[in-house]
Homo-oligomer: A and B are copies of this chain.
Amino acid sequence: MRVLIAGASGTIGRAVKEELEQRHEVITAGRTSGDVRLDITDSASIRAAFAEVGPVDAVVSTTGTVKFAPFNEMEAADYEIGLRDKLMGQVNLVLIGRDSISDGGSFTLTTGALDRDPIVGGSSASMVNGAVNAFVMAAAIEMPRGQRINAVSPGVIEEAMEVYAPYFRGFQPVPAARAALAYSKSVEGARTGVVFRVE
């Protein structure tokens, strides 16, 4: 398979690349690094990236930003960041990419454990993760040409605990390599409309 990874330079993206490149041709994409430039918040950039890459069998997104701040400091504009980036950025990868990927190809998006286990300061992350999970479930029943779509919702990544530990006390860290297995399951398996939770 030819697999495009958006956000391939991140902690999860690197692990997914390592897992998939053992068996597949992996094309990396990122805002400032990788085989192709890709800014998921910019539809023109997504179109250009798919045009440059050509036909692919799977698109994996391991990218997306949200604002973290205490709820009493969060205003509408702060939620917009996550809606523009992690939600509609990933959704736009699907809306634009669905014409470029092969029959039976797949999209795998990224959410995270705050979809079910909220933390202080994480209301935007929870909102966006819930939105992506539900979108994936719904889009799956209408994907064209046998295409599939899933999400991976990992716990806090072990390699990122140095930064995130104070916000995620009590969370069981998940090694990036273990989270990567869920992406492999989505890309190389046959399921669709599923949120693969990695605890």
Flag if A134 contacts B126 (CB, 8 Å).
Answer: yes
Interface bits A148-163 vs B (CB < 8 Å: 1, else 0): 0000000000000000
Would you call A198 an interface residue if the criterion is a C-beta within 8 Å of the partner chain's C-beta atoms?
no
Question: Which residues does chain B contribute within 8 Å of A70, judged by CB atoms?
Answer: 142
Would you call A51 an interface residue if the criterion is a C-beta within 8 Å of the partner chain's C-beta atoms?
no
Question: Which residues does chain B contribute within 8 Å of A142, judged by CB atoms?
Answer: 70-72, 120-121, 123
Cα(A187)–Cα(B123), bound, Å: 22
Would you call A92 an interface residue if the criterion is a C-beta within 8 Å of the partner chain's C-beta atoms?
yes
Selected interface stretch from A8-16, A73-81, A172-180: A73-81
Which of A43, A80, A129, A139 counts the most B-chain CB atoms under 10 A from its CB? A139
Question: Which residues does chain B contribute within 8 Å of A130, judged by CB atoms?
Answer: 130-135, 137
Would you call A83 an interface residue if the criterion is a C-beta within 8 Å of the partner chain's C-beta atoms?
yes
Question: Which residues does chain B contribute within 8 Å of A129, judged by CB atoms?
Answer: 134
Question: Which residues does chain B contribute within 8 Å of A85, judged by CB atoms?
Answer: none
Cα(A133)–Cα(B123), bound, Å: 11
Question: Considering only CB atoms, which chain B residue lies closest to A83 in the complex?
Answer: B83
Interface bits A70-110 vs B (CB < 8 Å: 1, else 0): 11101110011001000110011001001000000000000
Please provide the chain A residues from 103 to 127 with a CB less than 8 Å away from any CB of chain B in the complex.
114-116, 118-123, 125-127
Question: Which residues does chain B contribute within 8 Å of A125, judged by CB atoms?
Answer: 138
Question: Considering only CB atoms, which chain B residue lies closest to A88 in the complex?
Answer: B76
Cα(A19)–Cα(B131), bound, Å: 31
